[in-house]
Structure 1
Amino acid sequence: MFNPEKLLGSLLKGGLGRGGATRNLKVQAGLGLLGAALAAVDHYANKSSSRPQDMRQGTKGADYPPASGYTAASTAMATPPPPPPPPHPPAMQAEAANRQQDAVLLIRAMIAAANADGTVDQEERQRILEKFRAANLSPEEQSFLAGELLNPADIDQLAAGVHSAETARQLYAVSLLAITVDSDAERAYLQTLADRLGLSAPERDFIHKNLGVEGVEAAM
């Protein structure tokens, strides 16, 4: 089964392409702007263990009907108040769908950045796919990533999926994570991406500083 949040977490933890792995610890220690992108790592790890516990807690202390002969007045103080109603299912489903859409967008941004200098040849693609296989990804996840490597999104396609300033910052940050900025083509790509996302110079500088990235400003 293809879980975008899990896949994004795997890429953020393990690094993608040439630059992600070396800066991952700096991101987790000093950058909060990735929001859901970085939280997806712990979110997925904790989801499996927390849900059964939450379900058990939801049923603990359930109210039973009073025994025959008891009145409502005699049991009013003994009966705990009912738990608050759970969130409305459609709202929960919409929130989950939005998280998944954002995760897919950020994954596509990482892969597009890895292709930014046009040097991801067949050998490098194979190396990246081997890294994905080593991360115990599902066949569906591997298939999705292979398709994106062969046909990466362009900047306009990525920008079209951005719905907030936070998402724009997340997208730019994960693009930086995916590469080592050591070519004019990559610098030009990041400049165009930042411009298309509407990021100000202070926003870019903040992201660069907290990611520990140098050499980007030469093209800015």
Structure 2
Amino acid sequence: MAPDQPAIYLNDADAFKFYDQRTADDLAWANANVTPVNEGPWGDVPGVQVFYIGINLAGERIRLPQLSSFWLYKPTGVHLADSDNRDPHAPHQTYYLSGPGPGVVRIELGPSMPGILIERPNGSQPVQSTGLIDGKDFYFRESDGFWSLSVGGADVVDQPDWYYEEEHDAPDDLSEEAVYGLIAKGATLLRSGAPTMAVEQ
């Protein structure tokens, strides 16, 4: 936007209209490009088909060739013991959607790397990111000058198959690019056969 142009803010009605149109556009794109995933049922709530769409850094919709177990759908109001009875400060494990019928989950992705699918990092102290490395779930975490990468396992956060932790010398919060670099470094160590470390609790 040019500096001499005034900022334009949507009122509530226009914002809802924009959201509804984006959802309709996402669903139309998904129906043409993406195979739905069957999620559920959850107790008395029947299962549904959900489309998972990756959004790249340019804002373009892209097909997700694989899905991480972190990227789950469940209707609002349904409680899953395995997901919701965890530490409230643990990484998100479930995306919440509301409304009947098919849903669309938009997952903001980092840059494309061979064999790696990365969700854009979020949060601060800790900074967190999830995704897949060679088809296995990973969880990245950085806080107070230390970063860690957990990969695989039935519980990738608490009991991963492989874990690595290291101190870094970044003076402030890590940039997104730095996070991607550390995830790539961890993937290289994993692929080279570096032994796992003990998980810090």
TM-score, reference length from structure 2: 0.25
TM-score, reference length from structure 1: 0.24
Which has a greater percent of strand?
A: 2
Query: Which of the two has higher C-alpha Rg?
Result: 1
